[in-house]
Structure 1
Amino acid sequence: MSATTFLFTDIEGSTRLWEDYPAEMPSALEEHDQLLREIIEARGGLVFKTIGDGFCAAFAVADDALAASEEMQRRLRILVGDKRALRVRIALHSGVAEQRAGDYFGPPLNRVARLLAIGHGGQTLLSQATYALLSHTAGLRDLGMHRLRDLQEPEHVWQWGPQEFPKLRSLTLYDNNLPQQVTSFIGREKELSQVREHLQTARLLTVTGSGGCGKTRLTLQVATELLEQFSEGIWFVELAPLTDATLVELTVADVLGVRPVPGESLSKTLVKSLKEKKLLVILDNCEHVLRAVADLVELLLQGCSQVQILVSSREALGILGEKTYRVPSLSVPESTQLLVERASSHLPRFALTESNLSTITQLCEHLDGIPLAIELAAARVRSMPVEQLASRLDDRFRLLTGGSRTALPRQQTLRALIDWSYELLNAQEKLLLGRLCVFSGGWALDMAEKVCGTDGIEAWEVLDLLTALTDKSLVIYEEEEGGLGRYRLLETIRQYATEHLAASEELDRLRLRHRETVCLLAEEATTHLRGADQARWLQRFDQELENCRQAMGLPLPDPTHLGLRLALALNPYLVEMRGNLTEAILWLETKYPGAVAPPMNLAVQVLTYLGQAYWRRGDYAKARVHFEKALPLWKTLGDAPGFYRTLGGLANVIYYQGDYATAEPLYTEVLELSRQGGKPQDIARALNNSGLVAVGRGRHSEALALFEESLQLRRTLGDRLGQGTILGNLVDVYAELGRYDDAWQAAEESRIIGEEFSEPLMLGYAWLHIYRLARDEGDFARAEQAALKSLTLRHEVGERHGVLTSLAALMQLRIAEEKFVEATELLGATDTLRKEMDIQISPVMRDADARTRRTLREALPTEQFEHHYQHGSELPLSFWIKSVGTIST
């Protein structure tokens, strides 16, 4: 492939110009853009990108690119405000780059961008590669060799024209010993900005983070951007190779060119030498010689007023005046960019495509966004497809080896990277780190104390040990909403810790302690889910869900049925609060009956809870079977609340199947038994259900009284979610009674509560009620959006009855809009779904249903009606979920 010459431009000081001349800059910039584009295209160039106010252009011939730059500088006479001219710097570099999707990629683009960065407004710079391609070189000045930021090889720089400019702003201009980087720096814009900002106010900044997270690379990148600020330079001191802490002072002195003075301590000599100097010292990889570094830094800060120190370490120094900054993992887009760029350097044909995007994203997520781990993975693409690489990450410590031979030994394999940190721990810290692997999705302090506070670690010692592991960047601490602190391990650290715990032969014992602790927490949380403190306990359930899954999912001995108890405790949260019906059913069916048959008091709960989940999902036949099996067992146990709650569940099934006559006496019995039982929560639930059947039978005034009594009980209990459910049910009653203001208020309150708690079932119903009110007011656009939101939410949680009612709502809307073809197809779809679920048309709805069918038959010729009805009934449900929102448009 032949070389392309790239021409990059940039307006010097444009940020300040925008601040000083906000009114004049738009027209000046428009004139600038028009002129540059005209010149580039006239000279045969292609503008393939603009970045801010700069142009990126490609030329097949280097002479054309130079001619374009000459013409730009000659014709750029654009004034802003009080005769301040736009000063444009230009850079040219030639090389072979990959062209893809209208853009260019490869090292030549990095080099021309770095060349542009060292120039001044009005100056045109050329690389040696471009100079060599020119047919004439008259008028070019040799500016010598210069080191460019992030690039290993220096560049021989040339300038077009005789003008005099200040010295180029290359690394060569400033005193430093910053190592040249052989690869490009990717992402981290936020982190770079934050570190620079910290260094404006702090004389000592320690950048911390786990091994391989990119601390050194980040500090070096910041340093190259700050060279102009330190008149005596920036000096990088690598401490990783040291095995003797007493050598720290000597190593620093060697780098700074300070010679020992006989009869004087080296630290004192360092202070004397640096006392009046303005410089930045970077101390890299300090965690293994922390005390010696802290002592020296303290002396330098006290004795040298203009010296600033930037430290990278897995642990902070812990001295007065220190500011710390923890380097986070790379974001998924940054991780993906890093992997693709590094992989293509090992395998040039490697590229990001639609087919591998998902795999690469997953790979980067599983590697926790750790740059070194991603680079080790990228090196593997030479011999392994990325899909296979991703599938083998459970064995990441054997897989991710073979780093650069020039890297430090601990950076050549993923295991060596973590070994380095692990060996710096004391015995108790190692023991706790191993035990923490049993958690999944993080943990709170109380959980760690209960699970890990045993055999060698007292519960009261856990906090101090966790703090130490956090300080050493092996555990991550995050403060969540409400001031609650939570800890977690990166997955790579968790796998490493699991290996060590397994080697100690206490893995299964700790997993059982974890299961017991999680089970007891879930059982306690469930008792609070319908009370005034439900928001806090719902948040705790959200936080501990991964721990619950971990505890239930492992094949451990379970003679006391902890796994089943946990599945039961988790069920109300999954079914009633999160609408996660499939998972709720899965755990109960997985854990029941188990290797050892559970006692009757657990078995009957399984039957009842399965009945509830199947009812919610719309599997009415299965729900009825489970409820009917459970009822006699509750009687045998003499558990009245268990019996009438299950009877209420059976009544719900019958009611939802449209048999109101059979459901009503069952609801009446449940309400009587609930009042006898005296539990407000049960009474509120029974009142609500009796209100539903009253609505179904057209007795709206009676339903209003039942719902309002239920709502008052829920408010007394502080049960916000229960209030949201009843408010939703009140909407239709208020509407039927002509109280539309009350109906709208109830619908909005229900929606707000659903959003407050992220409860999808309640939100689905709330949006359906909003649909009904908007439709009645003739606001079809709002009604359609509400119905579509309801349909989407209910489909996502697998609530088939909700899907049915949402599709039926859309059918009625299409009839109102006189879109009879789609309405007929939706009629066919709802009839099919109703048959699958064994649902009858309720008596109160039969007249309305008959009117709907008559309207559609009268609107379409018989053959058309039959065709579209049949077509709709044969289409899969997935078609309607995807298409119903777009057909109407």
Structure 2
Amino acid sequence: MSEIGSGQRTSIDAMRSGELTSGELPVSGGSLVGRQEIVSQIVEQLDPGRVVTLTGMGGVGKTSVSIEVARAIVNDPDRFSDGCWFVEMAAVADEASIPVAITDAIGMFQNDDATPYESVVTGLRGLRGLLVIDNCEQIAGAMTGLLHRLLSDCTDLAVLATSREPLRMEAERVIAIETLNAGTGAYELFARRAVEADGSFDPLAHASAISTICNALDGLPLALELAAARLGTMTAEDIASRLDERFRMLRDPSVSGRNNSLYATVSWSYELLQPVERRLFDRLSVFQGGFDEQAAMAMLDPRDRGVDVRVVLGALVDKSMVNVVSAVARACSDEGSSAGASRGDTAPNNAPEAAGRRYDLLETLRHFGDRQLARRNERAAVRNQHLDHMIEVVAAANAFALSNDWAEGARRFRQDWANIRAAVNWAIDTTRVDDVDRLLRDVHFYCRWSLEAEAAIWAKRAISRGTTIGAVPGTPAHLHVGFQLFLAGDHEAALEELQRGLAARGTPSDRGWCRHYAAVELLYLGRAAEAADQAAVDFSDKSPRSVEAVIRSSSITAFQMYARQVHHDEAAARFAKYAQIAEKSGNSVAQGDVHFNSALCAYGRGDVDTYLAKMGDALEVARRDDIPNLTGYILTAQVHAPGWSGLRGALDALEYWNASRNIGNEFVVLEAVGINLAEMRRLEPAAVILGNLRNDRRKMTSSMSRRQACIGEIALHRSGEAWMEAGAAMSRTELLAYTKRATIEALESL
């Protein structure tokens, strides 16, 4: 029940230790040819506080070069010890979305008490790392302003950007990525790709044709790869001859220079596709962040419903129009399958295959496909089709998360998050309000436990737009906004938002969760009896899903226990029953949550041994299955215990929140440490900590009386105010280090 907000930056341990692996970088699509010298030059130019911008036309290889630079940085942690982050900006079209994209890429928790830009600074300040920002030409002006501020606030950060034009910053070094030399780099690239397309191909036997092709294509890497992919069905001499012929017809008078060569090459490759291949290629351009075979099948043109999508995709891959970006999926072992079959809430039948592929389009090709849809006035219809498919994807991921396989559900959400974002925004823009509700409802459980905060941004946008045009979303949008206000510590505003959600249209499950979080807010506001009464309404309006039901039932008992409506012995008996239900469900979130509430009950009874054992069980589940919010509030809950017990728990919690860069929950832990130190008569460090927090607008109602009593004791000391002023002057980084030292010293003195 005790909803302590938390957040986690993904892969944070690897990032902070410089162990980010190249596997976490985008796939560049084959070995890089003819770029070794420029990669070394770029690496040498990268310095903290500087921006290096790679410029060049579409298809010249800016992204591939930037990925190779990032890989070099990752493999040389002495240069940038805290790692590298890759941010794809191709789908970002407005200034407000830039920091959101960065926070998403670096895995930074977006707390509602800070702007997205402040979240970026919180996540990157003090880290010596490289931020790679790809495809930012459409937002160049806004990006310039943001990077100027970011490098001022994060002085140890270096930035590598790719753009078709310079960002025109004072701290910018511009490096132009040129086309490959026709006689050397271009020749080698074509020859390599030709051999990959046809193992029997002999470059020496076709040297003249290769030279003709390389010159005709102006050494453009993407154009060369598209041409080489044709060697499965054409000879090099045929390609050389037909390129010259087709270019005369396909050159676009509105496009000049080498960009025209690229346009003509893509057009030529596109027109050589079979009709079904062209139709699918165009429709695949709607995806953001990749897709799998099932997604491709869902996007087939109605006239192509009977075709084998694997065959068509294979043909597009062979012709370099589509890339394979992943061929690894989590395997379902026989043992795991049989274990799940015995549980009440098993994973859906469409469990992941032992091995599966994900695909993507290069950005240049994506734009080309989208252009074809627009020319035929099919763009809106295809985006609606994509939205319909993503509704099914989100529902399936949610079914996993609510079943015996939270980890698989979370993996599916993470894998398709960019597509979910595109679908939600399209639904909001086209006023498909019921679909907005459905998507926000089905991402709620994942967002609540993983603390993926972006859904709250979508919800705010849906509410704002809906209010303006008279198409107001239902309860799920208010639920997301209310939960984010809770995480920010603004409990009054959160309660108001949740009350608006209860008045909106929604399912029984929607209303149940709204009541649940409204009860949480009432508890934080010190209104325990009202909280218990509010939550108890849930008994007459609960979801049929057993995982949700057991989590809510466990929470209701905890509310009633805090309100002294249920004796601890009765609560313990209920929690034992809930634990059996959670175990039968196989859902790790339910198991961990019930263990946690059982621990709180044991603590209330004075049974410290059971308290520690249950907390240990909850933490084991949370860490085993990577449930960030469960991990966070277990660690945080322990800091409220008085004396040495709370201080001991604070060390783990401080480390967790410092790594996660979550200021909101750092506040909770810091406050608890300050209170415990004051109650142990260690007034100076307590005053320093509480002095730093004095002007913070967050308030923990449950600890307010203890905090006020401690501040009163500090005020009686002649140096009390000076200590508090010293704390107020500290930065958060300084305060965290100070608090850790003070905690260790206090524990060592006991």
TM class by shorter chain equals 0.5 to 0.7
Per-residue deviation, 1:448: 1.1
* Structure 1 contact 730–746 (Cα < 8 Å) conserved: yes
Match in the other structure for 1:454: 301
Per-residue deviation, 1:750: 1.9
Equivalences for residues 29-68 of structure 1 within 5 A: none
Letter in 1 for 2:283: R
- Residue number among 324, 327, 331 corresponding to 1:478 in the alignment: 327
Normalized against structure 1, the TM-score is what?
0.51
Q: Report the Cα distance in structure 2 between the residues aligned to 1:554 and 1:680, rounded to whole angstroms.
A: 31
Match in the other structure for 1:146: none
Gap change, CA 1:684 and 1:414, over 3 Å in 2? same
Aligned with 2:358: secondary structure? strand
Match in the other structure for 1:531: 403
Equivalences for residues 46-125 of structure 1 within 5 A: none
- Give CA-to-partner distance per residue, 1:631-661, whole Å, 9 cap, x none: 3446xx8x65544443332221110122223
- Residue number among 377, 385, 406 corresponding to 1:513 in the alignment: 385
Q: Report the Cα distance in structure 2 between the residues aligned to 1:729 and 1:819, rounded to whole angstroms.
A: 31
* Structure 2 contact 643–677 (Cα < 8 Å) conserved: no
* 2:539 aligned with 1:840: no
Gap change, CA 1:404 and 1:815, over 3 Å in 2? same
* 2:507 aligned with 1:629: no
- Residue number among 440, 464, 481 corresponding to 1:610 in the alignment: 481
Per-residue deviation, 1:562: 6.3
- Give CA-to-partner distance per residue, 1:205-230, whole Å, 9 cap, x none: xxxx9887447x7xxxxxxxxxxxxx
* Structure 2 contact 61–221 (Cα < 8 Å) conserved: no
Q: Report the Cα distance in structure 1 between the residues aligned to 2:476 and 2:46, rounded to whole angstroms.
A: 51
Q: Report the Cα distance in structure 1 between the residues aligned to 2:512 and 2:48, rounded to whole angstroms.
A: 55
Q: Report the Cα distance in structure 2 between the residues aligned to 1:556 and 1:841, rounded to whole angstroms.
A: 39
* Structure 1 contact 437–495 (Cα < 8 Å) conserved: yes
Gap change, CA 1:471 and 1:509, over 3 Å in 2? same
Match in the other structure for 1:293: none
Match in the other structure for 1:220: none
* Structure 2 contact 63–162 (Cα < 8 Å) conserved: no
Gap change, CA 1:654 and 1:887, over 3 Å in 2? same
Gap change, CA 1:707 and 1:394, over 3 Å in 2? farther
* Structure 1 contact 578–760 (Cα < 8 Å) conserved: yes
- Residue number among 573, 591, 594 corresponding to 1:705 in the alignment: 573
Equivalences for residues 685-764 of structure 1 within 5 A: 685-695=552-562, 700-764=568-632
- Residue number among 219, 223, 228 corresponding to 1:416 in the alignment: 223
Per-residue deviation, 1:815: 4.7
Aligned with 1:426: secondary structure? coil
- Residue number among 461, 465, 486 corresponding to 1:594 in the alignment: 465
Q: Report the Cα distance in structure 2 between the residues aligned to 1:400 and 1:503, rounded to whole angstroms.
A: 31
- Residue number among 282, 290, 293 corresponding to 1:434 in the alignment: 282
Q: Report the Cα distance in structure 2 between the residues aligned to 1:364 and 1:770, rounded to whole angstroms.
A: 54
Q: Report the Cα distance in structure 2 between the residues aligned to 1:365 and 1:877, rounded to whole angstroms.
A: 44
Q: Report the Cα distance in structure 2 between the residues aligned to 1:829 and 1:487, rounded to whole angstroms.
A: 49
Aligned with 1:481: secondary structure? coil
* 2:639 aligned with 1:791: no
Gap change, CA 1:357 and 1:693, over 3 Å in 2? farther
Q: Report the Cα distance in structure 2 between the residues aligned to 1:210 and 1:709, rounded to whole angstroms.
A: 52
Aligned with 2:455: secondary structure? helix
Q: Report the Cα distance in structure 1 between the residues aligned to 2:48 and 2:573, rounded to whole angstroms.
A: 58
- Residue number among 46, 50, 54 corresponding to 1:356 in the alignment: 50
Match in the other structure for 1:23: none
Match in the other structure for 1:392: 163
Q: Report the Cα distance in structure 1 between the residues aligned to 2:739 and 2:374, rounded to whole angstroms.
A: 53
Aligned with 1:369: secondary structure? helix
- Give CA-to-partner distance per residue, 1:776-825, whole Å, 9 cap, x none: 469x6x544313134336753x6x3x444311232255458865322112
- Residue number among 865, 868, 874 corresponding to 2:720 in the alignment: 865
Letter in 1 for 2:317: T
Per-residue deviation, 1:513: 1.3
Structure 1: stretches of 5+ with no match in the other structure: 1-189, 192-208, 218-334, 345-349, 378-383
Q: Report the Cα distance in structure 2 between the residues aligned to 1:851 and 1:716, rounded to whole angstroms.
A: 46
* Structure 1 contact 767–787 (Cα < 8 Å) conserved: yes
Match in the other structure for 2:236: none
Aligned with 2:304: secondary structure? coil
- Give CA-to-partner distance per residue, 1:572-605, whole Å, 9 cap, x none: 1453122123x122101112353685767x4233
Aligned with 2:658: secondary structure? helix
Q: Report the Cα distance in structure 2 between the residues aligned to 1:591 and 1:394, rounded to whole angstroms.
A: 34
Gap change, CA 1:739 and 1:854, over 3 Å in 2? same
Match in the other structure for 1:159: none
Gap change, CA 1:211 and 1:498, over 3 Å in 2? farther
- Residue number among 404, 412, 425 corresponding to 2:181 in the alignment: 404
Q: Report the Cα distance in structure 1 between the residues aligned to 2:378 and 2:512, rounded to whole angstroms.
A: 45
- Give CA-to-partner distance per residue, 1:179-204, whole Å, 9 cap, x none: xxxxxxxxxxx99xxxxxxxxxxxxx
Q: Report the Cα distance in structure 1 between the residues aligned to 2:415 and 2:380, rounded to whole angstroms.
A: 23
Q: Report the Cα distance in structure 1 between the residues aligned to 2:519 and 2:68, rounded to whole angstroms.
A: 57
Per-residue deviation, 1:569: 3.4
Letter in 2 for 1:617: A
Note the aligned Cα RMSD (angstroms).
4.6
Equivalences for residues 527-566 of structure 1 within 5 A: 527-554=399-426, 558-561=430-433, 564-565=436-437
Letter in 2 for 1:339: I
Gap change, CA 1:351 and 1:770, over 3 Å in 2? same
Match in the other structure for 1:17: none
Q: Report the Cα distance in structure 2 between the residues aligned to 1:575 and 1:676, rounded to whole angstroms.
A: 18
Gap change, CA 1:529 and 1:888, over 3 Å in 2? closer
Q: Report the Cα distance in structure 2 between the residues aligned to 1:694 and 1:605, rounded to whole angstroms.
A: 28
* Structure 2 contact 598–611 (Cα < 8 Å) conserved: yes
Moved more, 767-776 or 737-746: 767-776
Aligned with 2:64: secondary structure? coil
Gap change, CA 1:824 and 1:604, over 3 Å in 2? same
- Residue number among 43, 64, 68 corresponding to 1:369 in the alignment: 64
Per-residue deviation, 1:887: 6.9
Aligned with 1:713: secondary structure? helix
Match in the other structure for 2:86: none
Match in the other structure for 1:341: 40
Q: Report the Cα distance in structure 2 between the residues aligned to 1:462 and 1:394, rounded to whole angstroms.
A: 38
Q: Report the Cα distance in structure 1 between the residues aligned to 2:482 and 2:389, rounded to whole angstroms.
A: 28
Letter in 2 for 1:404: N
Match in the other structure for 1:265: none
Q: Report the Cα distance in structure 2 between the residues aligned to 1:356 and 1:678, rounded to whole angstroms.
A: 52
Aligned with 2:45: secondary structure? coil
Equivalences for residues 72-221 of structure 1 within 5 A: 213-214=31-32
* Structure 2 contact 651–743 (Cα < 8 Å) conserved: no
Normalized against structure 2, the TM-score is what?
0.60
* Structure 1 contact 735–743 (Cα < 8 Å) conserved: yes
Structure 2: stretches of 5+ with no match in the other structure: 1-21, 70-132, 134-139, 148-159, 168-175, 187-213, 230-265, 332-353, 745-750
Aligned with 1:485: secondary structure? coil
* 2:523 aligned with 1:655: yes
- Residue number among 824, 834, 838 corresponding to 2:687 in the alignment: 824
Gap change, CA 1:713 and 1:831, over 3 Å in 2? farther
Q: Report the Cα distance in structure 2 between the residues aligned to 1:447 and 1:355, rounded to whole angstroms.
A: 42
Q: Report the Cα distance in structure 2 between the residues aligned to 1:534 and 1:865, rounded to whole angstroms.
A: 49
Q: Report the Cα distance in structure 2 between the residues aligned to 1:765 and 1:487, rounded to whole angstroms.
A: 35
- Give CA-to-partner distance per residue, 1:440-471, whole Å, 9 cap, x none: 222121111002x1155335421111122334
Q: Tell me which of the two structures has the higher relative contact order, counting C-alpha pairs closer than 8 angstroms and 6 or more residues apart.
A: 2
* Structure 2 contact 407–626 (Cα < 8 Å) conserved: no
Q: Whose strand fraction is larger, Structure 1's or Structure 2's? A: 1
Q: Report the Cα distance in structure 2 between the residues aligned to 1:509 and 1:751, rounded to whole angstroms.
A: 47
Per-residue deviation, 1:874: 7.0
* Structure 1 contact 692–729 (Cα < 8 Å) conserved: no
Letter in 1 for 2:487: R
